Amino acid sequence: MQASREFTDEEQLGALMTSGDELSRRARQLVKLIVGHMIHIESIYAQIYICAAERYILKSNSHYGVDLNQRDDKQQVKFMPDAI
């Protein structure tokens, strides 16, 4: 015995809207996940740039005879942005 029936337009529309809402919810979750990963990746890039800048400053200071790792506390090293 087969129990088949025709769905009305309202039932089909309701089913489509429900599946559409589910897709919208999943799409929003996916966008949140992607944006979260992008923010994490951007923070990693920022950390890399900061490390590169620190390394450049250390390298340029050691080139001019100033070793920031070996200096005593009385000696002050002035950072002059105009010199770069």
pLDDT in tens, 2-36: 455 666 777 776 776 666 677 788 888 888 888 88
Percent of the chain with pLDDT over 70: 51
Query: What percent of the chain has pLDDT above 90?
Result: 0
Whether 43 shows a pLDDT value over 80: the answer reads yes
Secondary structure letter of residue 32 according to DSSP: H
pLDDT value, residue 30? 86
| Nearest-angstrom CA–CA distance, 13 and 20 | 10
- Model pTM? 0.40
Joined together, the tokens standing for residue 40 give: 């994490």
What average pLDDT does this structure show over 48-58?
Answer: 85
Q: If we measure between CA atoms, which residue out of 53, 81, 84, 54 comes closest to residue 69?
A: 54
Q: What angle do CA 39, 44, 47 make, to 5 degrees?
A: 125
